Structure 1
Amino acid sequence: MAEALLRRPSALYYLYALVDRVPRRWRPPAAGVGGGPVEAQRIHDLTLIVSRVVNPVSHSVRTQATHDDVLASLMDAEAVAPMPFGTTVVDLPGWVSARLPELQAALAAVRGSVEMTVRLLRLDAAVDGPHLRSLAERLIERAALPHWRYRPAANPTNVAASLSFLVPRDEVPEFLARIAPVASRAAGLAVVPTGPGPAYSFVSSTAMSHVPALAPAG
């Protein structure tokens, strides 16, 4: 029996997030990316949200939606450190052990917080870079938060840029109220806040390093 177990191929797991304090009434989707049930596994004092990959999968609208639905089901947890889409691991304990300090730091960095995104939509084609940056700076000043990211669009269409803010969970209404005066006076641009959501922008890519097993469909 022991020999048979040693020869059994290792399971492939799809990883969604690290969490602190899974919500008491957590109701994840019945099946995760790859078809296996979504479950919480405790390894080295960390809780990982995973599912077994039992069916061939690819990156599609459906699998991305499943990934997003799992993360949405966790938003009441004390902390959610999301994994990029396509994060898969064969040896879960080994993967965690190899980067335990980084994973612990990633979870601590987002504890008690959520990500709010503010998109700057171009209403006037004449809006230039300096005007865009000036608006972003005013939003950052009004937000009065230490952790933010500014991303000008690589190929601007109607979305000229976006800002991400790490906001304490219980301060989201106050955050929206602080930026509202700037949003209401933005000339040539619409300021569109969205969220709260998982704090993708504030989780270290080093801590979440992975080898994607899923490829774009087609």
Structure 2
Amino acid sequence: AIINKLEKFNGCILADSVGLGKTFTALAVIKYYENRNKSVLVLCPKKLGDNWMTFRSNLTNNPIAKDRLRYDVLYHTDLSRENGISNGLPLDRINWGNYDLVVIDESHNFRNGGQIYGDEEKKENRYLKLLNKVIRTGVRTKVLMLSATPVNNRFFDLRNQLALAYEGDPGKIEQLLDTNQSIDDIFRQAQAAYNQWSKLDAGQRTTSTLLDMLSFDFFE
């Protein structure tokens, strides 16, 4: 199902709870694309780097060493760096636009979307760096996102993450969806429904009530 969504929509978010195997599911997807000679980048928080490096290394504690995975591992923070070495890769010479698949672990770190900051020297945040350096540049890049908490308290948290799959251009996803509304209108309506739901009495504020309040287009 994940590969089908990556092929059709160019992106997918795997939002299982902690401990349900998101990493190993992603490794299976990586293996599928590497078997087709695709270049893969894993972007993760630094605290998870050792895990991802282990699964691609010839180590005795790597349970899938026989698969000989070869993906690159970089950290979220590396998107904002211009120099230095990260996991053996020289950041000033990385061919960012040559990745066919990007796996973003803990993708909720990109939930706030693109922002420009700085008073004198304008700089892009990591979200825009990812869009412009990796996804919009070079080969067409598929995006697999992993998160146990893709939504904090806004449905736009989810929208911003999914937007990475369609390069921030709603037109690229809307032509593939069988919906009556634009993607932004769908999430705007979902946020309004959530706001209304959050004000209900505790007895009424159930998951089934929220699902009933969301439009059919949201589930498309």
Give the TM-score, by structure 2 length: 0.27
Asked which structure has the greater RCO (Cα within 8 Å, sep 6+), the reply is 1
Give the TM-score, by structure 1 length: 0.27
Bigger Rg over Cα: 1
Greater helix proportion: 2
Greater strand proportion: 1
